[in-house]
Structure 1
């Protein structure tokens, strides 16, 4: 039953190789499963029908799983009607082949080992397929040569082998999909009824969007000075810190509300981001940290905070000028090596596309980048939080609150994103329009203008809003937050009504 496959072309017959496989192990495992159906529970989590080299064995395995899933006995008698019309089974003598598989009761003892070997051999066959495709693509110069794209495809294929056991992508049954939905609902229930994804560190935001969900692309946008990098850093730190705490509390990794985080900083250096986080945790002004204006006691607090954060699973890549392909490659590597469960990109417009025609059409390049980030979120099954600039149109309006149309090159970004968030601080704009400070001799209007400005500043001091402009999982709206510019920290607003429905259309 083993198929002879030549690896490469033009090789001598004695150098031809069979693909890695063990038909006898497959037959023994099927026999063991039919003798003792309880073994199905041990192997079905990892082993799938497509991992069998012999297609007939894969079909038999699939039917065994279906019968046991319906609490029916799976043995040669119950399986017989399902294979009477199977052509491959007829070639082996018909359904009597099923009884032949159960001939050796000793196979029950080694069932787990058989399953492990079948899985490993499937991985090796998948590697052979990837290698063959790589060779054929590299040798084919009939079309446009794009070596970087070929490397990207090879990386994707190898990652799929590592994560999925060499199986090609296939449609999920509703049952499989509903299991994931139930797990998310259980997670939300255990967290108090509002957090089904990864925590943002801000209760009001968690309540509004349910946390950061796996496979989602989230866009966090704002004009310069609004604090979007600070908010992203706060969220990344909160997720990494929660993961450490959950692991210490013995919570299963998949049930944790935190995650190790990969932070791709294309604008700020790694030490600048680290300074922000240290400022937030030590309570020392980031400006004073940079300039060395700290006391010995503050330095002691800083050293203590640095020691506490030294094992934080937050990985910063500050390589400038990354292409979307390079970022995806690095993210896959971090997923494989560090088990990251969240990706942050600061910021989207600093990424580069494939380079072909990008100078001629920036909108098309941004479309490629946003689509690539969404694909990355789905491929790694992690939330991807990408920061984005807003157009200057915001500054021309009296109402400075951003809208979806303000996203720079907005069409594709808005379309690809599952959630679009805008960070807005009225304090920034009020502070910028400070009138002339009155001096003795100025008329009453000057004094009144400055007093009115002071009242406005007091009203908006440290207040911020997170505007949920698009959300596939729920309603749009606004979440009120507090922003301490001294240590660049966002936190929950000191009031009860932390979010309100979006009033604009």
Structure 2
């Protein structure tokens, strides 16, 4: 029933009042905006024309927005002057006057807006479900229909959020900020997860919620090892779920690396099996006992898109909780569009991962590859500008750690690795040196005095070097 002048005020539970629409709320919302023009700006930021179920209300809302954008004072007369009749041939003046007259109070504008928005989202949920059902009945592939459904749910979930909850005055935030400072001062909580490498922690205040930490390096430098070690530490020491996506290795390969790292058993022995020595078994047994109950979660699906990663993260957080996510690696994440260039895909994924970190309130370790720029330099050292495929990676990252080891030097052959913190939004940049124990798939602190900075820089022998195994602080889970 579209004619306002023929309708009596809707009764609760009557034909105009349902779980899918409320014409009464739509009338009151339009009336509030006519009475107080400033409310049009607020409504314009929270509602769209299609959120109105009643065609006349949708038409009046569109007209209100148009007049407001032209800075025209709005009342029932100016509305009628701008458009004498609505699409259903009713007089704009008569309809607007009746709506204003029937509006209880503009003070309840927020409540009217919420009702209209919630009913609009509810209608679209049903439409999305019906569209999925029709596609399935038509024989469309289940995975394609599910992907479309996930995309629709995400969009609807976002639209259902009350806009007034998206910002806060600093006065509202200060108590929370001061409480956090006090708790950290008293060491009741920490800023974020430590990396397990004290020399690296001197640069990074912690793997903090909402931050994206990019770990990049050339193949074979140890970026996967570093990322997995950090995730292992969160799961084993903090007992907080750590989710690792590997688009390159299987979950069995990742598990073998964790067994090697935690148990101090050479990865080669674990992979071969037949080369396991009697001395290896106690370490392996210890690692199994520690990892068996650890909330360390692996996903090795090589076909993942960002939408898949988001959905899995949300599921894990909802069902188990979630402390940190590692993604190995950015360049292998598939794009949603088959026609998009690699640059466009990487740019979109990078932006999406940053949004995901903030949404979930967790740090995300994002592994990435470098271009060939470092190979053309005498020092072979990478910089953040060497990140492959898109400069957006550098822009979105809170921290960029570049893993560099000179395999031609004595130090590099002994595992001495430079971790170059080349970007750090919340702390200093610089370089620390650690030791890569490749046989055990882990990084550890160097033994003090095992080399000098000058030795490494000049790549010259030193009689005081004692590389050995280094200090396995990180392995002491």
Identify whether the pair has TM-score above 0.5, normalized to the shorter chain: yes
SS in 2 for 1:276: helix
CA contact (8 A) 2:210 2:363 kept: yes
d(CA) in 1 for partners of 2:452 and 2:369? 24
Cα distance, 1:210 vs structure 2? 0.7
Corresponding residue to 2:241 among 260, 276, 279: 260
Q: Match of 1:416?
A: 396
Q: Match of 1:175?
A: 171
CA contact (8 A) 2:267 2:440 kept: yes
d(CA) in 2 for partners of 1:499 and 1:150? 58
Q: Match of 2:415?
A: 462
Cα distance, 1:137 vs structure 2? 5.7
Q: Match of 2:304?
A: 322
d(CA) in 2 for partners of 1:239 and 1:311? 13
d(CA) in 2 for partners of 1:153 and 1:184? 37
CA contact (8 A) 2:20 2:122 kept: no
**Is 1:338 paired with 2:337?**
no
Deviations, residues 2-30 of structure 1 (Å, cap 9, x unaligned): 99799xxxxx939934889xxxxxxxxxx
SS in 1 for 2:202: helix
For this pair of structures, how many residues does the alignment match?
349
d(CA) in 2 for partners of 1:3 and 1:488? 70
SS in 2 for 1:483: strand
**Is 1:383 paired with 2:374?**
no
Does the C-alpha gap of structure 1 residues 356 and 298 become closer, same or farther in structure 2, counting only changes over 3 Å? Answer: closer
CA contact (8 A) 1:341 1:382 kept: yes
d(CA) in 2 for partners of 1:324 and 1:332? 12
Does the C-alpha gap of structure 1 residues 232 and 187 become closer, same or farther in structure 2, counting only changes over 3 Å? Answer: farther
d(CA) in 2 for partners of 1:492 and 1:260? 25
Does the C-alpha gap of structure 1 residues 383 and 406 become closer, same or farther in structure 2, counting only changes over 3 Å? Answer: same
**Is 1:185 paired with 2:181?**
yes
Corresponding residue to 1:480 among 425, 428, 433: 433
d(CA) in 1 for partners of 2:264 and 2:233? 16
Cα distance, 1:169 vs structure 2? 4.5
CA contact (8 A) 1:419 1:468 kept: yes
**Is 1:13 paired with 2:15?**
yes
Q: Match of 2:141?
A: none
d(CA) in 2 for partners of 1:380 and 1:471? 21
> Which runs of structure 2 are paired with 1:139-154 in the superposition (5 Å)?
148=147, 151-154=150-153
Deviations, residues 315-358 of structure 1 (Å, cap 9, x unaligned): 11111120111111111111111110211100001001211522
CA contact (8 A) 1:5 1:17 kept: no
d(CA) in 2 for partners of 1:416 and 1:366? 12
Deviations, residues 216-235 of structure 1 (Å, cap 9, x unaligned): 11111000010000000100
Q: Match of 1:133?
A: 124
Cα distance, 1:125 vs structure 2? 10
Q: Match of 2:292?
A: 310
Cα distance, 1:301 vs structure 2? 2.7
Does the C-alpha gap of structure 1 residues 4 and 476 become closer, same or farther in structure 2, counting only changes over 3 Å? Answer: farther
d(CA) in 2 for partners of 1:5 and 1:297? 78
CA contact (8 A) 1:343 1:384 kept: yes
Q: Match of 1:371?
A: 351
CA contact (8 A) 2:210 2:360 kept: yes
d(CA) in 2 for partners of 1:335 and 1:155? 16
d(CA) in 2 for partners of 1:474 and 1:335? 29
**Is 1:237 paired with 2:228?**
no
d(CA) in 2 for partners of 1:207 and 1:182? 24
Does the C-alpha gap of structure 1 residues 3 and 215 become closer, same or farther in structure 2, counting only changes over 3 Å? Answer: farther
d(CA) in 2 for partners of 1:178 and 1:4? 46
SS in 1 for 2:276: coil
Q: Match of 1:255?
A: none
d(CA) in 2 for partners of 1:478 and 1:192? 30
Deviations, residues 291-325 of structure 1 (Å, cap 9, x unaligned): 01112442233123202211111111111120111
d(CA) in 2 for partners of 1:350 and 1:289? 27
Cα distance, 1:186 vs structure 2? 4.1
Deviations, residues 424-470 of structure 1 (Å, cap 9, x unaligned): 112x2x1xxxxxxxxxxxxxxxxxxxxxxxxx415862211211111
d(CA) in 2 for partners of 1:377 and 1:16? 38
**Is 1:295 paired with 2:284?**
no
Q: Match of 1:490?
A: 443
CA contact (8 A) 2:125 2:156 kept: no
Cα distance, 1:270 vs structure 2? 0.8
Cα distance, 1:177 vs structure 2? 3.5
Cα distance, 1:476 vs structure 2? 1.2
CA contact (8 A) 2:261 2:442 kept: yes
CA contact (8 A) 1:185 1:196 kept: no
Corresponding residue to 1:285 among 266, 269, 274: 266
Runs (5+) with no aligned partner, structure 1: 7-11, 21-86, 95-122, 245-258, 431-455
SS in 2 for 1:410: coil
CA contact (8 A) 2:11 2:17 kept: no
